[in-house]
Structure 1
Amino acid sequence: MNEREALTQGLAELHMGFPQAVENLVHFSDLLLEKNKVMNLTAVTEPMEVVTRHFLDCAAAGAMLGLEGRTLVDVGCGAGFPGMPLALLAPGLQVTLLDSLGKRIRFLNDCIAEIGVPNAVAVHARAEEFAVAHREQFDLATSRAVARMNVLAELSLPLVKVGGVFAAMKSTGCDGELREAGQAIRLLGGEVEAVHDYHVPLTDVTQRLVVVRKVKPTPGKYPRPFRKISAAPL
């Protein structure tokens, strides 16, 4: 099975995607692996691993969120996960890829231009600074294994509209981390709506999606500067 066949099979299992999405994902994989030779973007170095460990993992999480017609900010997107695959799989989703490292953002904007992804933009900014001008503007915020939940909640929930969702992609071993973050989530205007354990197609891997609903506005003093967030998490 090659990467196109694997993508087609895995996405069919998730009821996601279309033929051009498969081609665009393969194109993104090619660009990622080529750039990874000179820039540390991912520990994954084989095309089939990109399919399973990156694309199908992100797609499986996205399949539970309802993406079309919504706005999403990917906080600390790194090499573009999960936001870039979700933009390629859901053309009606408007995606903002947010990262504090300029070279990653330049790479992603180059990919967006070369592949042709009109529903995605990559922005070089820290999440707590981006929130100043984009407070409560997004239907969805997502992040993939960037930091602990209490830190992620403070970086992400201020960006989400009341009624919207912060969805954190985590491992199944995050129970203690989630308990630790309970007070922070409530303080920031959220409540844990669901914890979904999901199977990644074509693998024996189970991952977890923590869905936090924004039920009231985040107090204006949050997010704090990152040095305060990291020194004294909520």
Structure 2
Amino acid sequence: MSDQLPIPTPETVEKVFGERAAAAARYVGHLATSGIERGLIGPRERDRLWDRHVLNCAVLAEVVPPDAKVVDVGSGAGLPGIPLALARPDLQIVLVEPLARRVDWLDEVLADLGLDLAVERGRAEEPSVLRRWEGADVVTARAVGPLARLAGLSLPLLRPGGVMLVLKGASAPEEIVRDAAAVRALGGGTPTIHEVGAGVVEPLTRVVEIPRIGAPRPTRRKERR
């Protein structure tokens, strides 16, 4: 395996990250070395870090409103939270991750990149996490689980009118139909699919947007006979 990573054109990196292009390259370097060594990224992903992971996540910036408070659920190696932060310095982002070894890695990488992001060790559904980070404008997630499960994790963290933005693959339309009732029961509105990253990534990044329009419906207990 060559030590040289496939990289996009400088114009592409500059278009997405602007003044933080060099920091984005350092982040990719962390993913390609300690990220693989410590099990946050699979070794087979090394040659696809820019296009399949970093740029694929960074173009999410196209559908995030200005100055938003963002919670990245199940952040793992900082995807999509760190690329999003590099592309959008106006955002306030917290990375939520339950595994200590990943949290340690995230802290090290953020310190090197000079990014002022919070890192919360915990699960999105834990009461302590909800207390600290509820009222977000946006909740993001990537490769965390099916849409119904993501809605259960994300919607409680959002303010009314806030949106969850979930990176999904080709199965997004089928997931929306399959999980529609569960999403509604959790307080979610009508999903919208965005395709972002024109001129940057191919295929385009698919993002499912679901607004929070209400509170979860109470679960009915069966009456004892």
TM-score range, shorter chain: 0.7 to 0.9
User: Which of 79, 82, 86 pairs up with 1:81?
Assistant: 79
User: Unaligned stretches of 5+ in structure 1?
Assistant: 222-234
> Contact 1:166/1:213 (CA < 8 Å) preserved in 2?
yes
1:161-216 Cα offsets, whole Å, 9 max, x none, are 10110011000222222212211211121112421134564553233111001112
The answer to whether the Cα contact below 8 Å between 2:147 and 2:179 also exists between their aligned partners in 1 is yes
After superposition, the Cα gap between the structure-2 partners of 1:24 and 1:78, relative to the gap in structure 1 and judged at 3 Å, is same
CA contact (8 A) 2:55 2:201 kept: no
Contact conserved, 1:112 with 1:121, CA < 8 A, in 2?
no
Distance 2:55 2:130 in 1: 33
- Provide the alpha-carbon RMSD of the alignment: 2.2
**CA–CA separation in structure 2 for the residues paired with 1:198 and 1:89:** 14
Which residue is 1:127 aligned to?
A: 124
Shift of residue 27, structure 1, vs aligned partner: 1.0
Q: Which amino acid aligns with 1:114?
A: D
Q: Is the Cα contact below 8 Å between 1:100 and 1:125 reproduced in 2?
A: yes
Q: How many residues align?
A: 212
Amino acid at match of 1:212: I
CA distance in 1, matches of 2:200, 2:162: 31
Provide structure 2 residue ranges, at least 5 long, that are not aligned to the other structure. Answer: 220-225
Matched AA of 2:52: R
Match of 2:51 in 1: 52
What residue is the counterpart of 1:117 in the other structure? Answer: 115
Amino acid at match of 1:93: L
Match of 1:6 among 9, 18, 25: 9
Q: Could you state the TM-score of these two structures normalised by the residue count of structure 2? A: 0.85
Q: Percent identity among equivalent residues?
A: 28
Q: Does the 8 Å contact 2:76/2:102 carry over to 1?
A: yes
- 2:67 alignment partner in structure 1: 69
Counting only pairs closer than 5 Å after superposition, residues 117-196 of structure 1 correspond to structure 2 as 117-118=115-116, 120-129=117-126, 130-134=128-132, 136-196=134-194
Q: Secondary structure at the match of 2:67?
A: coil
For 1:76 and 1:92, the matched residues in 2 are separated by: 22
Q: Distance in 1 between matches of 2:172 and 2:191?
A: 16
Question: Does the C-alpha gap of structure 1 residues 5 and 123 become closer, same or farther in structure 2, counting only changes over 3 Å?
Answer: same
Instruction: Report the alpha carbon displacement of residue 75 of structure 1 after superposing the two structures with TM.
Output: 0.5
CA distance in 1, matches of 2:92, 2:56: 20
Deviations 1:98-129 (A, max 9, x none): 111111111011111111102x1111101110
CA contact (8 A) 2:124 2:130 kept: no
Query: What is the alpha-carbon distance in structure 2 between the residues aligned to residue 136 and residue 179 of structure 1?
Result: 27
Taking the aligned partners of 2:200 and 2:39, their CA distance within structure 1 comes to: 26
Select the structure of larger CA radius of gyration: 2
Letter in 1 for 2:11: T
Tell me if structure 2 keeps the 8 A contact 1:4–1:22. Answer: no
Q: Distance in 2 between matches of 1:4 and 1:172?
A: 25
CA contact (8 A) 1:52 1:203 kept: yes
